[in-house]
């Protein structure tokens, strides 16, 4: 079996149980959108939309990745620490960005510093947040944090690594790892 096919399945195991069925990136799981961080179980069904940000599909992500220069999005993989994995090519792994208890915790200012550096202060620069799949709240939480920080082009790739792999996308090592703690 090719690593590009095997890895998304392994990533689901990291953030969910083996008994959970794979979910398509646009499947409505009946979870209402919220503007609050999910502090509890992160390996659970997510909403289809996110307040203040835009949910994107694999096709949209592919088009965005073909853009060059300042139009190209910053790709942030926020799968949790201890889950060393392959990711979408060009992504920076930012473990911990989707964790925490609220917008006033220590993660928020650490993420603010990281995003300031990554975007070179451009709050309109497209930023894509993703994690394992549509059953991973870490990217939802991290995207909410960026919205709260005033970023205006926050994109949530709900399907994450699983949908990227299912869509035939290659996987690679992260281009960097940003520790927030």
φ, ψ for residue 33, nearest 5 deg: -65, 150
Residues 137, 15: Cα–Cα separation, whole Å: 9
Calculate Rg over the CA atoms of the chain: 15
Give me the pLDDT at residue 66, please: 93
Output the tens digit of pLDDT for each of the chain's 181 residues. Answer: 434 433 333 333 333 333 345 778 999 999 999 999 999 899 999 999 999 999 999 999 999 999 887 789 999 999 998 878 999 999 999 999 999 999 999 999 999 999 999 999 999 999 999 999 999 999 999 999 999 999 999 999 999 999 999 999 999 999 999 989 7
**DSSP symbol at 69:** G
Contacts of 58 (CB under 8 A, 6+ apart): 25, 157, 159, 163, 164, 167, 169
Domain ranges for the chain, please list them: 46-177
Side-chain half-sphere of 70: how many Cα atoms within 13 Å?
7
φ, ψ for residue 26, nearest 5 deg: -110, 10
- Choose the CATH number for 46-177 among 3.40.250.10, 3.20.10.10, 3.60.10.10, 3.40.50.1820: 3.40.250.10
Could you tell me the pTM of the whole model? 0.88
């Amino acid at each position: 079996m090719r690593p590009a096919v095997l890895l998304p399945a392994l990533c689901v195991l990291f953030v969910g149980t083996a008994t959970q069925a794979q979910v398509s990136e646009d499947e409505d799981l009946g979870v209402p959108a919220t503007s609050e961080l999910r502090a509890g179980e992160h390996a659970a069904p997510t909403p289809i939309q996110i307040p203040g940000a835009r949910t994107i599909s694999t096709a949209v992500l592919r088009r965005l990745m073909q853009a060059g220069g300042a139009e190209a999005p910053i790709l942030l993989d926020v799968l949790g620490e201890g889950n060393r994995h392959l990711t979408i090519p060009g992504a920076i792994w930012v473990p911990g960005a989707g964790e925490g208890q609220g917008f006033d915790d220590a993660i928020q200012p650490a993420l603010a510093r990281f995003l300031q550096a990554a975007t070179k202060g451009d709050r309109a620069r497209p930023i894509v947040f993703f994690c394992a799949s549509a059953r991973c709240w870490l990217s939802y939480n991290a995207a909410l944090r960026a919205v709260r920080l005033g970023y205006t082009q926050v994109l949530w790739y709900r399907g994450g690594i699983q949908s990227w792999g299912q869509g035939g996308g290659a996987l690679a090592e992260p281009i960097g790892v940003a520790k927030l703690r």
